[in-house]
Amino acid sequence: MPQLVVRGGGFHAEITKAGAALRVLRHGDRDLVTSWPQDGPIPYYSGTLLAPWPNRLARGRYTFGGRSLSVPINEPERGHALHGLVAFAPWQLAEEGPGFAGLAHTVEPSPGYPFRLAMRVRYTLNAQGLTTTLTAENTGDEPAPYGCGPHPWLLAGDGPKEGWRLELPAGRVLLTDEVLLPRELTDVQGTPYDFRAERPIGDTVLDEAFTGLTPAADGVTRVRVLGAEGGVQIAWDASAMPWVQVCTGTGFGHPGLAVEPMTCPPDAFNSGTDLIVLGPGEKHEAAWTISPL
């Protein structure tokens, strides 16, 4: 699987051209994200980019601009279209230099998504960590629905994730039905999903979207995962990405904790909640940083 290697600030990152996926992020001798063999396949969307929608699109169907549209189902066990159109698509090298690399991909019009998006992603390393900046530009001639997010599986050491501690500054959780579609948005107070104060993950099973994010004093929202030998955090501007999906991967047998900042919740193409509509020529930019603790 062709990939790029980026080094800087004491970090080592490897990004595949398939999906522009973050395959490796290492600080010194410590892995900060779950990796996989270089020849693939990419397991459980590890390190991929999710666009033009993150999470689930119910039954792959939606209505936009007066048209009923349908995209292919890629989660057949639940009957949904999962994580957009670019997670495994071929990306091309766009720029490369000391401590950074950029890739590009064009989402071409299709029967289910008849819009054209020029996608660019830039991975930049410095002493603080790895910052990923994802930009989408509507290069078509009509408005396009859009949402995005990343899918890193964060590692807080070698021990079992049940012993890790999670700090998640989110006041509301989106409860789901038996096929993981949105059912009810509720306060986390009094639920198993309240991680506003750092505490062990324990036997809590997570595969939920959270919002009501509280930034730190500097205006940045941080989700922190800590183990016996250190930890890792992902930080972003919640005004640009007001949602985050957190998944323990219970039953997957996959290491790490998925922490996925998102511009919108699951099934936003149907609910319209925090859905971005890009007019012709308009751009959207989102960025996030993964750092060791």
pLDDT, tens digit, 9 for 90 and up, residues 162-196: 899 999 999 999 999 999 999 999 999 999 999 99
Q: What's the rounded mean pLDDT across residues 207-213?
A: 98
Whole-number percent of the chain with pLDDT over 70: 100
Q: Is the pLDDT of residue 131 over 90?
A: yes
pLDDT of 71 reads 98
Query: 152 and 20 in contact (C-beta within 8 Å)?
Result: no
Q: Reduce the DSSP state of residue 242 to 3 states and report it.
A: coil
Distance CA 282, CA 141 (A): 11
Range of the domain at 170: 3-292
- Structure letter (DSSP) for residue 180: S
pLDDT of 229 reads 79
Helix (H) or strand (E) holding 195: none
pTM of the model: 0.96
Query: 33 and 56 in contact (C-beta within 8 Å)?
Result: no
Q: What's the rounded mean pLDDT across residues 123-133?
A: 97
Query: 9 and 127 in contact (C-beta within 8 Å)?
Result: yes
The count of domains in the chain is: 1
pLDDT of 48 reads 98
Work out the end-to-end distance of the chain between its first and last CA atoms, rounded to an integer number of angstroms. Answer: 30
**What does the angle CA 239 – CA 245 – CA 251 come to, to the nearest 5 degrees?**
170
pLDDT of 158 reads 78
Q: What's the rounded mean pLDDT across residues 32-39?
A: 94
Distance CA 95, CA 103 (A): 7
pLDDT, tens digit, 9 for 90 and up, residues 64-96: 999 999 999 999 999 999 999 999 999 999 999
Residue type, 152: P
CATH number where 182 lies: 2.70.98.10
Whole-number percent of the chain with pLDDT over 90: 95
